[in-house]
Amino acid sequence: MEKVISVSLGELALKGSNRKYFEDQLIKQIMNKTKDIRYDKLYKEQGKIYIEANEEKFESLMEKLKNVFGLVYISPCIRVEKDIEAIEEACILNMKERLEKDPNIKTFKVDTNRADKNFAFTSPEISREIGKRLLNKFDNLNVDVHNPDLYMYIDIKQTHAYIYSERIKAYGGMPIGTSGKALLLISGGIDSPVAGFMMAKRGVSLSCVHYHSYPFTSERGEEKVKELAKKLSMYTGKIKFYSVNILNIQKEINEKCPEKEMTIISRKFMMRIAEKIARYNKLDALITGESLGQVASQTMQGLTVTDESVSIPVFRPLIGMDKVDIIEIARDIDTLETSNLPFEDCCTVFLPKHPVTNPSVENIKRSEEALDVETLVKDAIDNMKVYIIK
């Protein structure tokens, strides 16, 4: 009888012939994420991944595993021989441990999954037999097949049987890197880190670009954004972070374009610079934290104008979300507190009193004729700084 951790792989099951590739990516990431914790062995068996380790390390291992995208549940298990007596013993032990932690458990249901179809008993037979034995052992427990306080799971696999009653929910999604690479436009706000998280969860590997207006914005402001990227890197692994000063661009716009178009024209520059960085570094798309109607530049017309400045795909995973729901995710992924720190953002330096809410592509283009777009973009990129965040 040994204790192991099992990991269930959600949507990977849908991937058909690509399955092995996705599983391998996932294993690579698990190994990477847990490399500071020495475990004894990691192996696959019939659709699940198992980790053998000293039980003292379970908690820290599970904490790390929770942040790996592509897995849905993590369970501390007891691994035993495929033998009814051994299975019974493991179930009793597991039940005892659970009852110690939570005396309110009054009802249970045994749920058996037989991946090894050669095993002598069927799943319902095993569930019934073990259920009976647990009832005999624990006087205060009853069976409830509809709404039990505890599910006792039994997985019968090729080599062993696995017993567990806790399924700790992970984020699901896809292993990082299996859905391509993208460049996240990250501000110090609440939205863009959440947008990055959501795309990363779907398997996109992230780089970040941040625009500042130093010395109008502070170094502490930039540190804050790096801190946000660091929080994201807990999920994604190390992140390449491009820091671009756009003060000159903003000064030019401020001087030569209508005041109310300041924000939207700056936004176009952000997109252009991001596209250049992305193409140069073989990143396939941009990600922003925009959500429809949230502020003046995020109206349908505003988004049309910003989109028009680039030909690379732009993903806006928050487009249909309300602020309260975005905040909820930010809290959950631990970026909210950092986002709420008060530092100047480059957008607030030249904030127009009455920004346009229905800009047209043509009007904005006409305003931009006063600017040497290409040179401004090139100068900004020539002076950018690159950091590795981990």
Q: Does 210 count as an annotated binding residue? A: yes
Give the nearer residue to Mg ion in terms of CB position, either 193 or 203: 193
Q: Write the interaction track for ligand ATP spanning residues 262-301; mark x where CB under 6 A is met and - where it is not.
A: --------x-----------------xxx---xx-xx---
217 part of the interface to Mg ion, by CB under 5 A = no
Give the nearer residue to Mg ion in terms of CB position, either 187 or 205: 187
74 part of the interface to ligand ATP, by CB under 6 A = no
Q: Does 185 count as an annotated binding residue? A: yes
Work out what residue 135 binds among Mg ion, ligand ATP, none; the CB cut-off runs from 5 to 8 Å by kind: none
213 part of the interface to Mg ion, by CB under 5 A = no
222 part of the interface to ligand ATP, by CB under 6 A = no
Residues 87-108 as b/e (b if ≥16 CB within 10 A, e otherwise) read bbbbbbebbeebbeeeeebeeb
Bond before 76 cis per omega within 30 degrees:
no
Give the nearer residue to Mg ion in terms of CB position, either 9 or 229: 229
Give yes or no for a contact between 256 and 241, defined as CB atoms under 8 angstroms apart.
no
Give yes or no for a contact between 49 and 162, defined as CB atoms under 8 angstroms apart.
no
120 part of the interface to ligand ATP, by CB under 6 A = no
Cα separations in angstroms, 18 against 9, 22, 30, 200: 14, 6, 19, 19
Cα separations in angstroms, 30 against 42, 55, 58, 217, 355: 9, 18, 14, 39, 47
Work out what residue 94 binds among ligand ATP, Mg ion, none; the CB cut-off runs from 5 to 8 Å by kind: none
Q: Does 289 count as an annotated binding residue? A: yes
Q: Does 298 count as an annotated binding residue? A: yes
Q: Least Å distance between CB 314 and ligand ATP?
A: 10
Alpha helices by DSSP H, the chain: 19-33, 58-65, 84-101, 123-137, 191-201, 219-236, 247-256, 262-280, 300-308, 323-332, 336-339, 346-349, 361-368, 373-382
Of 80-88, 179-187, 262-270, 331-339, which part binds Mg ion (CB under 5 A)? 179-187
Binding footprint of Mg ion on the chain (CB under 5 A)? 187, 189
Annotated binding site for ATP: 185-186, 210-211, 267, 289, 298
